[in-house]
Structure 1
Amino acid sequence: MFRHVKTSCTEDKLLTTELTKQECHFTWNMNKKDTNITDHLIKLEDNLDLGLGDKAGTARTHNSVAYVKYLLGSYKEALTNLKKSVELTKDFYGDNCDEKLIVTYGNFAWLHFHMTQYAECKSYLEKLKDIKEKNSAVSPSALHTQVLGEKAWALFKFSRKYYSRARECFKKALELEPEDGEWNAGYAIVLYRTETKCASLEDSSALKQLRRAMETNPDNDELKLLLALKLAEFKLFHEAEDLVERALEMSPDSPRVIRYVGKYLRNYGSVDRSISLLKRALDVSPNSAFIHHQLALCYKQKKEKFRKQPESQTFCHLSISHFEKAITLKSGFIIAMTQLAILYGEDGQIDQADEVFQTALFTAKEKMEGVQALNLYYGEFLQYRKRDKHQAIKYYKDCLKMNPGTLDGKKSAKNLRKIANKRLSYNINDTMAFEILEFIKQVTGKKQFTADGCEHLLESTSS
């Protein structure tokens, strides 16, 4: 039975001060508003159900699930997950592994505090004090590295907004323990996720780190596939395909491996083979939004290939059904929502497209993610599907204002010029056309027409 001990204001303050010094999920500034908490929980629980990773990785996942359960107000379930984390950690490392449990014990202390079980809270704080004192003389860097690595994984899995923080934690952990396989793998994966397109092979930090991670994790098939995808970006297909074959041979039934193989084949090989593999992965993991999304993209590609043939409609509807499933399973899946809305528009389902675009825009603004691209795509939908140029102009302008230097910004400017150009071809004194061109000039700083008049204007806007 838990003991509910009353504390004085002074004791409560001292307890809170001690708790804030701990390194754990409760002190890492992981805010509920920065993720879709329900989607995050589903993803974590899927990882547990599929048995992905070793016992140490599963223990970390139980820690993360515990924190999410706490955020959702399910304290008892949170406690159950923390106990499972301890059990798995001891199974993996042996009973004398307290230094591996610093984060878990910190979570225990915080959770008991929130449950007003102050005696238990103090007990875990005492345990943490003993562990740190015992290890400070033996291996302080190992203690610090363990916390950095766990913090990095927790941040990485919680929200895309925390990728840069996760990257820095992995980097610091590797400075202390450069040969550690887990931290090398984590650093490689977060670099792969955050790296923008590189001009050359030598410029890719992700590629270098993926090779390094492979040295410390030669049996990690997920790393093989991420490296294959990165190599394919630089057209090194021979090495990439060898890695794909090896990964598939070693892990033929792993949904995580199959989904990346499917992505590789869709982008660089056989779409039909990709569909076959992804369907197989779906049998094992039917609630994977990622796999449904990949299948939707495959069928979309086949729809475009057979554009002028009867099969095109079948592939369109198959693509739509998988996009729908993906956003049902993952409600904040902005990319899938956008792609579904575009496909609805192409299929003549205008009202459904408009509704999904509106939901995607609301979600994107809430998450502060992908808003500029959505303004462009919605503008194009309004212009070409709804035939509402007036509203389209508004969204093109919003897109351009956000960042005129991006591809989306430049495309919006081009679309605005075309609209202005078309209006001037009917009326050389069209006020709205001049207002649009003046707006582009103010935002981009580039002159849109000269004092010589419309002929020069039409030349400049048609380029």
Structure 2
Amino acid sequence: MLSGGKKPLVKQYCAEEHPLKDRLQKLRCHFTWGLLIEDTEVSDLQDRILEEIQCLDTEHKVGYNLLAYVKHLQGKHEDALENLKEAEEVVQGDQADHSDVRSLVTWGNYAWVYYHMGRLADAQTYLDKVENTCQKSADPSRYSTQCPEMDCEEGWALLKCGGKNYERAKACFEKALEADPENPEFNTGYAITVYRLDYPAKRPCNVSDAFSLQPLRKAIRLNPQDAYLKALLALKLQDVGEEAEGRECMEEALAHTSSQTYVFRYAAKFFRRQGRVEEALKYLKRALKATPRSVFLHHQIGLCYREQMIQIKNATHMQPRGRDRENVDRLVQLAINEFQKASVLKPTFELAHVHLAEMYAEIRQYKEAEEHFQKALCIPNTYHWKSEDKAITQYLKGLKIEKVSYAREKLLKALERLAERRVNRNVQVVESTALLGLIHKLRGEVSEALLCYEKALRLAADLNSMF
């Protein structure tokens, strides 16, 4: 896992104990915020930052500072310097009151990049710029400043870096809001973060259970022209069964010309969940023209093809023949192509692997199906085996030793009873359901194993999905 403490992917300046480093670590910038980024996610993160720079028409962008940090992780320090120069140009044109804070972040990133390049005099120059500005603040510290705008900047960076960072992002925005409860940007960041965290295990949920509704409404009140926020509110309203208000909210979002690529993404998701698949595909393909490397779009297009396949199967009572069978096979292949693109662009995207496995199982390619289920199960944070139950440990050890025998079947039976009892009692349901899949696999019951793996992954995805 990459973070501010790990070296980039290529050789860099190695004066790790240089006295300058102590001062650098006191800065508040991307290098000291402890951003959790898997090395396999760096390319996808870079694509998403570029998409945001290109397509998100709001003042609240992560932008070039985070892109510079990503370039550092790749060892591309000259490119990082170019990104920081672009960040400076954006700040110079920023009319917001906190442009000085964003300069501090940029200067801190400059200092770190120059340090890693071995250009210590340049690093010291930017440290001096930070120090001179911080000394002018109401709460002076030599190399950092404590203010809500800086908390907001940190929150945006954490939010962009994925689900492992969301709780910390939420805390940053909460801290900023304590100082300025009506700030439009602070409320926007907080609303988006809690929307990402607000995914219950089962849908539809009650309105009272959806804790992101009120923050989204408040953020829209303070940012009435933000179509992106309105699209998110529409989806959350759909989640809780408020379909009519959700549709009205989505229509308002689509009426805006701002952030259209992002609005089209969420409009497509909204329409697909209504069963309006053709309309969803229309918006997804329009968005894809602007951002052809979007993991989200490829995954959503795949889901649309999957939905069309399901519609045909339902209409034929699950027995498609002739032209219907041909259409099912065609749609399965189209879905596979899209899910495959998503999984290549973001190897840690477990849902893409789950849906690939489903499609391969549909055309009876069970080897490929199990391969993708196993890939999803091996992704960190998909589900966590936390059980310390000695019985399970002993059963599994026994299964490794025993060949096909009466004793082995007794072990399987005992393990199956234990897993089913946990599922029925709602104890570690994800782990226990996956364990049932393993039991079926050991018995050679491929179809049943795939069903259990799918159910386990869906349960996990409902709790961890960022979409």
Indicate the residue corresponding to 1:151 in structure 2. Answer: 154
Residue 368 of structure 1, aligned match among 381, 392, 398: 381
Residue 74 of structure 2, aligned match among 46, 65, 72: 72
Whole-Å Cα distance in 2 between the matches of residues 104 and 245 of structure 1? 38
CA apart distance, 1:93: 2.6
Relative to structure 1, the CA distance from residue 396 to residue 105 in structure 2 (aligned partners, 3 Å threshold; closer, same or farther) is farther
- Give ranges in structure 1 of 5+ residues lacking alignment: 1-5, 373-388, 424-463
Q: Does 1:359 align with 2:384?
A: no
Q: Which amino acid aligns with 2:355?
A: Q
CA apart distance, 1:338: 1.1
Whole-Å Cα distance in 2 between the matches of residues 210 and 94 of structure 1? 22
- Contact in 2 for aligned 1:135/1:143 (Cα 8 Å): no
Indicate the residue corresponding to 2:266 in structure 1. Answer: 260
Q: Which amino acid aligns with 1:405?
A: V
Q: Does 1:170 align with 2:173?
A: yes
Residue 160 of structure 1, aligned match among 163, 180, 201: 163
Whole-Å Cα distance in 2 between the matches of residues 143 and 211 of structure 1? 29
User: Mean Cα displacement is larger for which, 78-87 or 194-203?
Assistant: 194-203
Indicate the residue corresponding to 1:204 in structure 2. Answer: 210
CA apart distance, 1:409: 5.0
Indicate the residue corresponding to 2:427 in structure 1. Answer: 405
- Contact in 1 for aligned 2:55/2:262 (Cα 8 Å): no
CA displacement 1:117-162 (0-9 Å, x = unmatched): 2222121111111211212279xx9961111011011111113111
- Contact in 1 for aligned 2:107/2:130 (Cα 8 Å): yes
Identity of aligned residues (%): 33
Indicate the residue corresponding to 2:304 in structure 1. Answer: 298
CA displacement 1:244-298 (0-9 Å, x = unmatched): 1111121388221101000011112512211222122222222212111111111
CA displacement 1:391-441 (0-9 Å, x = unmatched): 999998998899862554565688799999xx9xxxxxxxxxxxxxxxxxx
Q: Does 1:275 align with 2:277?
A: no
Q: Which amino acid aligns with 2:286?
A: R
- Residues 44-55 of structure 1 aligned to structure 2 (within 5 Å): 44-48=49-53, 50-54=54-58
3-state secondary structure, aligned to 1:93: coil
CA displacement 1:56-111 (0-9 Å, x = unmatched): 545x3210011111111111111111111011111123899433311111111111
Relative to structure 1, the CA distance from residue 159 to residue 237 in structure 2 (aligned partners, 3 Å threshold; closer, same or farther) is closer
Indicate the residue corresponding to 1:431 in structure 2. Answer: none
Relative to structure 1, the CA distance from residue 299 to residue 133 in structure 2 (aligned partners, 3 Å threshold; closer, same or farther) is same
CA displacement 1:23-74 (0-9 Å, x = unmatched): 01111112444762222122222333x34234x545x321001111111111
User: Mean Cα displacement is larger for which, 129-138 or 205-214?
Assistant: 129-138
With normalisation by structure 2, the TM-score equals 0.74
Relative to structure 1, the CA distance from residue 104 to residue 355 in structure 2 (aligned partners, 3 Å threshold; closer, same or farther) is same
Q: Which amino acid aligns with 1:152?
A: G
- Contact in 1 for aligned 2:173/2:189 (Cα 8 Å): yes
Indicate the residue corresponding to 2:5 in structure 1. Answer: none
3-state secondary structure, aligned to 2:224: coil
Relative to structure 1, the CA distance from residue 394 to residue 76 in structure 2 (aligned partners, 3 Å threshold; closer, same or farther) is farther
Q: Which amino acid aligns with 2:340?
A: E
Q: Does 1:17 align with 2:22?
A: yes
Relative to structure 1, the CA distance from residue 398 to residue 262 in structure 2 (aligned partners, 3 Å threshold; closer, same or farther) is farther
Whole-Å Cα distance in 1 between the matches of residues 22 and 435 of structure 2? 54
Whole-Å Cα distance in 1 between the matches of residues 75 and 359 of structure 2? 39
Q: Does 1:42 align with 2:47?
A: yes
Whole-Å Cα distance in 1 between the matches of residues 384 and 414 of structure 2? 14
- Contact in 2 for aligned 1:155/1:163 (Cα 8 Å): yes
Relative to structure 1, the CA distance from residue 312 to residue 405 in structure 2 (aligned partners, 3 Å threshold; closer, same or farther) is same
Relative to structure 1, the CA distance from residue 32 to residue 326 in structure 2 (aligned partners, 3 Å threshold; closer, same or farther) is closer
- Tell which structure's C-alpha radius of gyration is larger: 1
- Contact in 2 for aligned 1:32/1:71 (Cα 8 Å): no
Whole-Å Cα distance in 1 between the matches of residues 418 and 69 of structure 2? 38
- Residues 313-328 of structure 1 aligned to structure 2 (within 5 Å): 313-328=329-344
Indicate the residue corresponding to 1:383 in structure 2. Answer: none
Q: Does 1:235 align with 2:241?
A: yes
Indicate the residue corresponding to 1:89 in structure 2. Answer: 91
3-state secondary structure, aligned to 1:261: helix
User: Mean Cα displacement is larger for which, 147-156 or 129-138?
Assistant: 129-138
Indicate the residue corresponding to 2:457 in structure 1. Answer: none
Number of positions where the alignment pairs a residue of Structure 1 with one of Structure 2: 389
Whole-Å Cα distance in 1 between the matches of residues 268 and 278 of structure 2? 10
CA apart distance, 1:241: 0.7
- Give ranges in structure 2 of 5+ residues lacking alignment: 1-12, 386-407, 446-467
Q: Which amino acid aligns with 1:178?
A: P
Which structure 1 residue ranges, 4+ long, deviate > 3 Å from structure 2?
31-35, 94-97, 389-404, 406-420
Please tell me the root mean square deviation across aligned C-alpha atoms, in Å.
Answer: 3.6
- Contact in 2 for aligned 1:303/1:312 (Cα 8 Å): yes
Q: Which amino acid aligns with 1:30?
A: L
3-state secondary structure, aligned to 2:292: coil
Relative to structure 1, the CA distance from residue 271 to residue 21 in structure 2 (aligned partners, 3 Å threshold; closer, same or farther) is same
Indicate the residue corresponding to 2:464 in structure 1. Answer: none
More helix per residue: 1 or 2? 1
- Residues 438-453 of structure 1 aligned to structure 2 (within 5 Å): none
User: Mean Cα displacement is larger for which, 310-319 or 165-174?
Assistant: 310-319
Whole-Å Cα distance in 1 between the matches of residues 260 and 412 of structure 2? 44
Indicate the residue corresponding to 2:345 in structure 1. Answer: 329
User: Mean Cα displacement is larger for which, 298-307 or 401-410?
Assistant: 401-410
- Contact in 2 for aligned 1:19/1:110 (Cα 8 Å): yes
- Residues 56-67 of structure 1 aligned to structure 2 (within 5 Å): 56-58=59-61, 60-67=62-69
Indicate the residue corresponding to 1:454 in structure 2. Answer: none
3-state secondary structure, aligned to 1:169: helix
Q: Which amino acid aligns with 2:350?
A: I
- Contact in 2 for aligned 1:262/1:277 (Cα 8 Å): yes
- Residues 104-183 of structure 1 aligned to structure 2 (within 5 Å): 104-136=106-138, 144-183=147-186
Whole-Å Cα distance in 2 between the matches of residues 90 and 151 of structure 1? 20
